Amino acid sequence: MATTPSDGDLAALLGQCTIEEKISLLSLKNVWETAAVDRVGIPSLKFSDGPNGARGADFFDGTTAACFPACVSLAATFDRDLCRRVGVALGQEAQTKGAYVLLGPTVCCHRSPVGGRNFEAFSEDPFVSGALAIEYIRGLQSERVAATVKHYVANEQDTRRFTVNEIVSERALREIYLKPFEMVVKQADPWCVMTSYPKVNGAHIDAQPLFLRDILQKEWGFNGLVMSDWGATSNCDDSLKYGLDVETPGPAKHRTRDNVQGSLAAGRITEKDVDDRVLALLKLLRHTGKLTDRKDTPAEQAIDRPEHRTLIRQAGAAGIVLLKNDSSNSKDGSQTKTPILPVDPAKCRKIALVGPLVDHAAAHGGGSASLNCHYKVSPYEAFKSGLGADVEITTSKGANITRAYPDLEAGAVNRNGNAGFIADYYKTPDLSGEPFHTEEYPRGAFTTLMNTSAVGAKSARFTSTYTAPTSGTHYLSFSGLGPSKLSINGELVTEQPRELRDSMAFLLGVQDEIRFQHTFVAGKVYELVIESVPSPTNNAELHLLENLIAAHLGFVSQADMEVDLLAEAVGLASEADLAVCFVGNTAQWETEGQDMAEMALPADGSQDQLVAAVVKANPNTIVVVTTGVPVALPWLDQVPAVLQAWYAGQETGNAIFDTIFGAVSPSGKLPVSWPKRYEDSPCFGNFGLDSYDSQVVEYVEGVNVGYRHFDRTYGKGADGGEVLFPFGFGLSYTSFAFADAVLEGTFTKTGDETVTVSVTVTNTGAVAGSETVQLYLAPPAESEGAGAGRPPKSLVAFEKLHLQPGESKRTQLTFARDGAAYWVEGQAWRVDGGRHSVTLATSSSPRDVKATLDLDIKEAFDFSS
């Protein structure tokens, strides 16, 4: 291994570059790679999405990759060590894709239960988000793969995210939205930070000095690389002056050679501004070894590591939250005394698995977190493999929740004799001449998004031959990003004369489509031809979606569409010893690019009707909810057990199976509050689709996010905002006792002290299990901060303990003055004097407090970051 370059070596390398070469390094050269300057030995560096797996260069159907649990699932583990191990594995995965920068983790706090991208972030609580992201980053960067902490800052909603102006108080920014970024910068030294799309208080992040120059660099001491989100660079001059190092993706829109040289000549920027940006990239190249032993970018590989399989299964199970576990009523009306979970397979000879997610492995949400998994284990596959032939398993979807029809795939063969379609791309808008690029696709969907080989296409023809496996008047859906036509056997069957209203929705598979029926005869061959051109307008508010071509052909057989799924599921459940109902969202419903309209499960109440009907037919019913957010549970009182499974990665089915049958005692805790109704959320009416037509969204709740809000409204009437399940809540198959809690320490203006709470925790049950001890701090009731609207309490520490039956452990929870501080706008952090209340608990609810201790701080004091 060559000697690591010193700072002096990097300065010398920078000095060898011409101004043109420096400008080339201010943006990516393509979608995923920085430019190289071969003349002086500066190599290219490859980036890759995303936070739960290294996808590689292709957005769709790329090299297969391992899919890890989503960050919200990791947060539910409350397990620092597990997050670090996942980070290590993600670093190893990124290297298989030739990438040494991974675009994750996402540490934006959950502001609303209908945030479309919440699953990709950790928690509503900034401390949990920061503490677990720190371990993720340490693990990732131990493999010399850069973490990219995103999205800095206030990227909590996806509705109009490219143009919305978010009005956030200075105090809310400091205490909630900046806090996890501050924690990871100071404690984990991430090598990259990604800026967000929205305007914050009137200007984009890269167009104002506050966030990048003043806070991130000067105040927190960040010395890594700052990149924009893809297409989020808003300007040339300010972004260069204030600290945005790399514009993504390439080729540059703002930092073209002419723009930068023109700004230099006019004196709007200096060459030092350029040098500072390039030097940040050189430091990143040094961190990742690209200047020494990793100069080449290797080809992508699909390496399915057994140890990663094991880790994903373990992490997925550790994040599952047991929300309810009561005894069930038997079919004859008698009631058992034992909780229904864990299930004893010896007592279940016939199990009905029902619900739209029975045979669907909900491994990840939609958008940047999606990838082509090595494999995915559905619940049905896990039950079939785990139980064997001794248990009869019956299945039914029970409800159809498809938002866009699935891609036509089975029966399609292209002209090369391979399964799927072929796209021919043309430089002419009328498909004349010869195609300049031809590419095969495995199914009835194609796009030029992030496809560098199809750049410049003015039209495309997408073709296949389709042999119908069954006769029927089947159901099809059709849509194009721009004007598009579909012909079958030379006859035009449908046409979309205009571009779609929402380009982003199309690319995420959640678009409005033309739906129709067409008669097919089994065994007959049909020629399918789609012709499409780019959208003539940019209707997604993002320049990256300009001049793209894409089309989708969906298909559902007549038999599948017209079957009575609800009756089928109820019939199977009524005949079984046990029914397990799998409901939730899919990547079509929960995705980057769109927020959800409501907390209800999709679609049109069909899943709620399914659960209610199934439990009525079989009171021995377990419900497994797979979402990245809380959802309404109108049937909660009727079912004996509910599990929240999140998006647990490619081993999701096995993780659920392990939990239901007791191989794992559930230990997940809610990293978010679970409201009874969306209307009870603190930002209701001021988030996402609630205010779609507004270009301005105000963070009206200030610092009272999540449990902070519910603490303030708790008990104020039947529907006064009391949560269905509190933050930090989660049941177990065992029980725990707390004893001998002791607090030591206090804070003074010297700033070096810590406060430690010690407690002994004992597993008082019959099986091994894990408990998360949570420490909350409440300010003095008479304090200035309380009078100024300070939240009733805040989480300041947590520790997860793994205990065998009868085992006791004494643990310590420690926090510094940051935990007791609040922000005084325009000034600094302040710690109030007086008697603070410290509670040891297993959730944020008063019902789960195990001990209350006093922390006396003699006098108030201020401090800066």
Lookup: tokens for 388: 């064997």
Strands (E), 502-640: 514-520, 525-532, 550-556, 578-584, 621-626
Q: Is there a catalytic annotation at residue 229? A: yes
d(CA 379, CA 654): 7
Q: Is 706 within 8 Å of 112 (Cβ atoms)? A: no
Laid out side by side, the sheet with 203-204 consists of 203-204, 199-200, 165-167, 696-698
**DSSP structural state of residue 37:** B
Report H helices in 179-296. 179-188, 209, 237-242, 257-266, 271-287
To which residue do tokens 């009575």 refer? 564
3-class SS at 167?
strand
Q: Is 444 within 8 Å of 407 (Cβ atoms)? A: yes
Lookup: tokens for 281: 């990239």
Instruction: Spell out the SS3 assignment of 668-708.
Output: CCCCCCEECCHHHCCCCCCCHHHHCCCCEEECCCCCCCCHH
Helix 606-617 / helix 565-574 crossing angle, nearest 10 deg: 20
3-class SS at 208?
coil
User: Of 244, 129, 227, which Cα lies nearest the Cα of 187?
Assistant: 129
d(CA 778, CA 772): 19
**DSSP structural state of residue 771:** E
Bridge pairing between strands 491-496 and 484-488: antiparallel
User: Of 764, 396, 397, which Cα lies nearest the Cα of 572?
Assistant: 396
Cα-based torsion angle of the residue sequence 259, 262, 266, 268 in order, rounded to the nearest 10 degrees: 20
3-class SS at 317?
helix
Lookup: tokens for 651: 């081993």
d(CA 812, CA 395): 48
d(CA 213, CA 219): 9
To which residue do tokens 């660099």 refer? 217
- Indicate which residue of 206, 229, 273, 658 is catalytic: 229
Cβ within 8 Å of residue 9, ≥6 positions away: none
Q: Is 566 within 8 Å of 617 (Cβ atoms)? A: no
Query: CA of 158: how far to CAs of 53, 692, 849, in Å?
Result: 21, 10, 36
Q: How many CA atoms lie within 13 A of 222 on its CB side?
A: 30
Beta bridge mates, 834: 857
User: Of 178, 586, 729, 676, which Cα lies nearest the Cα of 684?
Assistant: 676
Q: What is the CA radius of gyration of the chain?
A: 28
User: Of 44, 222, 193, which Cα lies nearest the Cα of 107?
Assistant: 193
Query: CA of 402: how far to CAs of 282, 397, 561, 584, in Å?
Result: 47, 11, 11, 12
Query: CA of 328: how far to CAs of 125, 236, 339, 658, 660, in Å?
Result: 35, 64, 7, 21, 15
Amino acid at 671: P
State residue 748 phi and psi, 5-degree precision.
Answer: -135, 175
Q: How many CA atoms lie within 13 A of 835 on its CB side?
A: 4
d(CA 772, CA 843): 9
Q: Which residues are catalytic?
A: 229
